[in-house]
């Protein structure tokens, strides 16, 4: 609808459409056609303006449009409005009336071109424009090229459409004419025919308005409204028309057509977009907000509608664009989206950014899992899970094993002859699916020897096993999203018996590494060694990262306590003093080791690590023994843990001695060697 006194242009037997494509349309398409009006003007020859579309809304309304991508046509929203004078009322979603689009058929009496149904409408509310998604892709036709250069006053543009002419109410052929720009506003422009006879008529609504530049055409806008001077059946002397601008909404058009989105998960960003009918898609990325479409920024080329950018450090923000690649050339690039790599899922079971707690309890009356969800300031009500596979479970831990950003549960049954193997219960966001066997063979020792980490940086947590023998070593089972692959040896001699090994991303490269605390080793007491991951092995370079940390009898752990994307180390002295020391990672070593809390998790309690308030810094937690089941959390400030004795839940992981109950909370650290 025009902002002036013009009339809307929908007509019977007209079709609307939208498309995106490359900017290579031959100059002869324009140069060979005289500049007569659409009313009584020159016909468009077959093979010219192939992106021009006719939109048929039911059997009694027609419009024009422009193919802007193989699955999308841009047209006037008024074509679909119950009251065409109110185009802003068109709802998003499937059209209320069955609609078809014909593309590449300048002469409608022939059987050339292609026909597709419209399955979805994506309207604008600030101008007479709607994107129409096609049920099938248009192949072999180059979409109309978009431009970001707007029309200027005095510029001559060309309009095309299937509307009335001066002599025909429902012509079978498309027509074209030239128009001078009179004025430009934020969402529209007014135009006037270059001759007295030039006019835009009913049925031309949504047709493309084009600019010729260096032997190519550019889509500047769409026909919106007109006085229809000289059109068949009209007697007004008023001249002029309005077009809906497309140049200043190219980002919106591209984003809606490709629907590009990006989500940060552990060590990766996942990208998804709508199928645009392209043969392939090129994915470009940059850490800066601007993403140049050049080889240096090309992350990969895929045939599907998704891409996973892997091996990224926690907290890193990336910006992305996607370019569809068609047999006829490149389509228009998507808008830019950004995504920040999440911190480790840890025990965030519902994916809300707060780590939660779980526990595995055994007793006279069987075994069960329980969990409580964090809201950032406390843990909610306890949910219990009882399944057959829980009986005889030897190992219990959490990890994001399918890479969806939610932590899952893992158990390893060593002692049960009925259910041996490694089982995983995937989180569905509201609870856990039933445990499924992810690996049938279990090779566990009695002392702690298994940890979880994303060792190849693909965003899915894997398993590492330390044999805990005299020669040491590290064996990794990579997750494929639905199971664990067979073990492969990633290190020949790491963490022999007597040491305490763990996993963490200590250099912040997006791949988890391994660390070992020697504690009471007679030759190198209290040393801490790190072996960095290469993505398919751990470096065997005996890298000493700290010379005195986590003394004998203390409980070391791993977490990113200052939120810089690199995992640090912590140790709980236990005993009666309950001191907590932290040494921060520089990416090449652990620096210093100061007291971050002067009384937390003394002897008899079970400390753990997690980001419970979702601020990107890992906090500390302790589970108290006894029937009350009290759980305390001390939040990280980035350089210390808050000393406020903050009780987050009661009645969790309490042990009833009369039923011989034993509770193993998650997250919690291995027992010190002296216990």
Residue-wise pLDDT tens digits, 436-481 = 889 877 665 545 488 999 999 888 999 999 988 888 999 999 999 9
C-beta separation of 81 from 87 below 8 A? yes
**Closest to 61 in 3D by CA, of 3, 5, 100:** 100
Percent of the chain with pLDDT strictly greater than 90: 53
- What's the farthest any 2 CA atoms get from each other in the chain? 104
pLDDT recorded at residue 364: 56
3-state secondary structure 355-420: CCEEEEEEECCEEEEEEEEECCCCEEEEEEECCHHHCCEEEEEEECCCCCCCCEEEEEECCCCCCC
Distance between CA atoms of residues 416 and 13, nearest Å: 73
pLDDT score of 602 more than 80: yes
Domain 259-341 is classified in which CATH homologous superfamily? Answer: Immunoglobulins (2.60.40.10)
SS3 87: helix
Could you give phi then psi for residue 509, rounded to 5 degrees?
-95, 5
pLDDT score of 672 more than 70: no
pLDDT score of 47 more than 90: no
Confidence bin at 349 (pLDDT 50/70/90): very high
pLDDT recorded at residue 396: 73
Q: Greater confidence, 31 or 37?
A: 37
Mean pLDDT of 258-285: 87
pLDDT recorded at residue 387: 62
What are the start-end ranges of the E strands in 227-332? 241-245, 261-265, 268-272, 280-286, 298-302, 306-309, 317-326, 329-330
Residue-wise pLDDT tens digits, 524-564 = 788 999 999 999 999 998 799 999 999 988 999 999 998 88
**Closest to 314 in 3D by CA, of 459, 156, 502, 103:** 459
pLDDT score of 26 more than 50: no
Tokens read off for 297: 């920024």
Distance between CA atoms of residues 34 and 651, nearest Å: 85
Which long-range contacts does 432-437 make (Cβ < 8 Å, 24+ apart)? Answer: 432/349, 432/369, 432/385, 432/408, 434/387, 435/387, 435/389, 435/390, 435/409, 435/411, 437/389
pLDDT recorded at residue 16: 32
Beta bridge partners of 140: none
pLDDT score of 37 more than 90: no
Q: What is the number of other CB atoms lying within 10 angstroms of the CB of residue 645?
A: 10
Fold observed for domain 42-247: Thrombin, subunit H (2.40.10)
Residue-wise pLDDT tens digits, 138-186 = 989 999 999 999 999 999 999 999 988 877 777 888 989 999 999 999 9
Confidence bin at 389 (pLDDT 50/70/90): low
The CA-based angle 321-323-328, given to 5 degrees, is 170
Percent of the chain with pLDDT strictly greater than 70: 87
pLDDT recorded at residue 64: 95
Pairing between strand 175-184 and 156-161? antiparallel
**Closest to 201 in 3D by CA, of 55, 1, 8:** 8
pLDDT recorded at residue 278: 83
Distance between CA atoms of residues 388 and 434, nearest Å: 10
pLDDT recorded at residue 664: 83
> What residue ranges do the domains of the chain occupy?
42-247, 259-341, 357-666
pLDDT score of 411 more than 50: yes
Distance between CA atoms of residues 346 and 355, nearest Å: 7
Confidence bin at 671 (pLDDT 50/70/90): low
Which CATH number is 357-666 given? Answer: 2.120.10.30
Give the mean pLDDT of the chain.
Answer: 85
Q: Fold identical between 42-247 and 357-666? A: no
C-beta separation of 477 from 462 below 8 A? yes
pLDDT recorded at residue 230: 84
pLDDT score of 30 more than 50: no
Confidence bin at 352 (pLDDT 50/70/90): confident
Confidence bin at 32 (pLDDT 50/70/90): very low
Could you give phi then psi for residue 273, rounded to 5 degrees?
-150, 170
**Closest to 618 in 3D by CA, of 573, 670, 566:** 566
pLDDT recorded at residue 674: 37
Q: Greater confidence, 627 or 280?
A: 280
Distance between CA atoms of residues 99 and 135, nearest Å: 11
pLDDT recorded at residue 21: 25
Mean pLDDT of 326-343: 84
Mean pLDDT of 227-236: 86
Could you give phi then psi for residue 614, rounded to 5 degrees?
70, 30
C-beta separation of 189 from 242 below 8 A? yes
């Amino acid at each position: 609808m025009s902002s002036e006194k013009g009339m809307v242009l929908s007509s019977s037997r007209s079709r609307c459409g939208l498309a995106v494509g490359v900017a290579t349309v031959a100059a002869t398409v324009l140069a060979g056609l005289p500049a007569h009006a659409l009313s009584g003007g020159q016909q468009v020859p077959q093979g010219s303006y192939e992106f021009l579309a006719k939109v048929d809304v039911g059997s009694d309304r027609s419009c024009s449009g422009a193919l802007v991508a193989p699955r999308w046509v841009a047209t006037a929203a008024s074509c679909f409005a119950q009251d065409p004078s109110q185009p802003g009322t068109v709802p998003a979603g499937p059209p209320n009336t069955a609609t078809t689009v014909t593309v590449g058929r300048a002469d409608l009496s022939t059987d050339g071109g292609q026909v597709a149904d419209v399955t979805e409408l994506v309207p604008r509310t600030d101008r007479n424009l709607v994107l129409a998604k096609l049920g099938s892709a248009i192949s072999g036709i180059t979409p109309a090229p978009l431009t970001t250069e707007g029309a200027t006053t005095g510029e001559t543009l060309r309009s095309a459409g299937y509307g009335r002419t001066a002599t025909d109410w429902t012509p079978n052929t498309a027509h074209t004419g030239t128009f001078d720009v009179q004025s430009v506003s934020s969402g529209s422009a007014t135009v006037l025919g270059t001759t007295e006879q030039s006019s835009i008529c009913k049925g031309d609504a949504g047709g493309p308005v084009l600019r010729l530049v260096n032997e190519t055409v550019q889509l500047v806008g769409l026909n919106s409204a007109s006085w229809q001077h000289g059109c068949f059946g009209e007697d007004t002397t008023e001249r002029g028309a309005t077009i809906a601008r497309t140049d200043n909404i190219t980002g919106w058009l591209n984003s809606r057509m490709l629907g590009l989105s990006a989500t940060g998960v552990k060590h990766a960003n996942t990208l998804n977009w709508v199928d645009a009918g392209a043969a392939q898609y090129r994915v470009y990325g940059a850490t800066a907000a601007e993403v140049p479409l050049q080889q240096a920024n090309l992350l990969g080329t895929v045939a599907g509608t998704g891409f996973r950018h892997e091996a990224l450090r926690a907290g890193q923000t990336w910006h992305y664009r996607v370019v569809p690649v068609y047999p006829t050339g490149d389509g228009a690039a998507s808008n830019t989206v950004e995504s920040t790599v999440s911190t480790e899922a840890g025990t965030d079971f519902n994916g809300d950014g707060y780590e939660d707690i779980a526990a595995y309890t055994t007793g006279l009356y069987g075994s069960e899992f329980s969990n409580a969800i964090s809201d950032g300031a406390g843990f909610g009500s306890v949910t219990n899970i009882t399944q057959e596979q829980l009986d005889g479970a030897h190992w219990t831990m959490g990890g994001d094993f399918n890479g969806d950003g939610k932590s899952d549960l893992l158990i390893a049954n060593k002692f049960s002859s009925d259910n041996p193997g490694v089982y995983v219960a995937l989180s569905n966001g509201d609870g856990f699916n039933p445990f499924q066997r992810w690996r049938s063979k279990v090779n566990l020792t009695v002392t702690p020897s298994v940890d979880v980490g994303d060792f190849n940086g693909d965003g899915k947590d894997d398993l590492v096993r330390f044999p805990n023998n005299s020669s040491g070593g590290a064996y990794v089972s990579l997750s494929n999203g639905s199971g664990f692959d067979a073990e492969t040896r990633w290190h020949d001699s790491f963490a022999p018996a007597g040491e305490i090994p763990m996993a963490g991303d200590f250099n912040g490269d997006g791949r988890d590494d391994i660390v070992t605390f020697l504690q009471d080793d007679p030759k190198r007491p209290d040393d801490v060694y790190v072996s960095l991951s290469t993505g398919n092995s751990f470096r065997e370079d005996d890298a000493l990262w700290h010379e005195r940390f986590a003394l004998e009898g203390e409980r070391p752990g791993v977490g990113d306590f200052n939120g810089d994307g690199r995992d640090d180390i912590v140790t709980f002295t236990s005993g009666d003093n309950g001191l907590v020391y932290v040494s921060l990672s520089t990416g090449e070593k652990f620096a210093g080791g100061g007291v971050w809390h002067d009384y937390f998790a003394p002897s008899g309690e079970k400390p753990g690590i997690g980001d419970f308030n979702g601020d990107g810094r890992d906090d500390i937690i302790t589970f108290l023994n006894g029937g009350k089941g009290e759980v305390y959390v001390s939040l990280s400030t980035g350089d210390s843990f808050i000393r406020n004795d903050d009780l987050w839940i009661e009645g969790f992981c309490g042990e009833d001695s009369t039923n011989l109950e034993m509770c193993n909370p998650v997250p919690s650290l291995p027992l010190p060697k002296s216990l």
